[in-house]
Amino acid sequence: MNVKLISITPNAEETIGYCARVSNPKNQKNPNVSGLLKFCIKNGHWSVFEMANMVVEINTSRGIAAQILRHRSFSFQEFSQRYAEAKGFEEIKPRRQDEKNRQNSFDDLDKNDKEWFDIVVREQNRRSYSLYKEALKRGVAKESARFLLPLNTKTRIYMNGTIRSWIHYLQLRTDPSTQKEHQNIANAIKWGIFSCKLPVISKALGWSEGVPC
């Protein structure tokens, strides 16, 4: 898993501040937007954060990509297994199922069960990819052959959204209720990209403590 910034609205925070002051034209070009953006966040004036955009590249598995693509306020471009050959698998670290919450797991699985799972995954990856390559060799279309591949097959996504959408996404997906692999992606974006490129907004959200940018 890794993430990378592709683009962000130039001077994004100043742009948001400029648009937020649309009804105060005499003060519209004021470069000091810290207090204004903090006020907007505190009072739920979220529409102003739609005035800037950010695009992030995410490299992950098909299983986690399916969760990310559910965020419909974003626009996406994803690596197409119909067009190009799939290559590689994401590492999977097994966890124990929470018997009370079907959407939760614990990182305390028995050592023997972890070792068994690791062996099975390696064999599954080897076997499925071998069959996938054989299918392509036989002339089977990529769009058909891809069904032989498991959910941990690597994929790449470009995720584009307004700063408002990114705030909501990061608040939701850094929560412990989110699957660990998805949490890791959201935290990498939150601390490695968002908080570095949008320090004023991050500080107003309480996200900027100790961020090494």
Residues belonging to the active site = 173
Cα separation, 149 vs 124, whole angstroms:
9
Rounded Cα distance, 184 and 189, in Å: 9
8 three-state secondary structure: strand
Residue type at position 145: A
**SS3 sequence, 176-199?**
CCCCHHHHHHHHHHHHHHHHHHCH
Of 113, 64, 61, the C-alpha closest to 91 is 61
For residue 129, CA distances in Å to 18, 27, 28, 59, 180 come to 52, 61, 58, 19, 25
Which stretches of the chain are DSSP H helices? 12-20, 34-42, 62-68, 111-137, 142-145, 163-173, 180-189, 195-197, 199-205
Q: What is the DSSP string of 16-51?
A: HHHHHTTT-GGGTT-S--HHHHHHHHHTT-GGGGGG
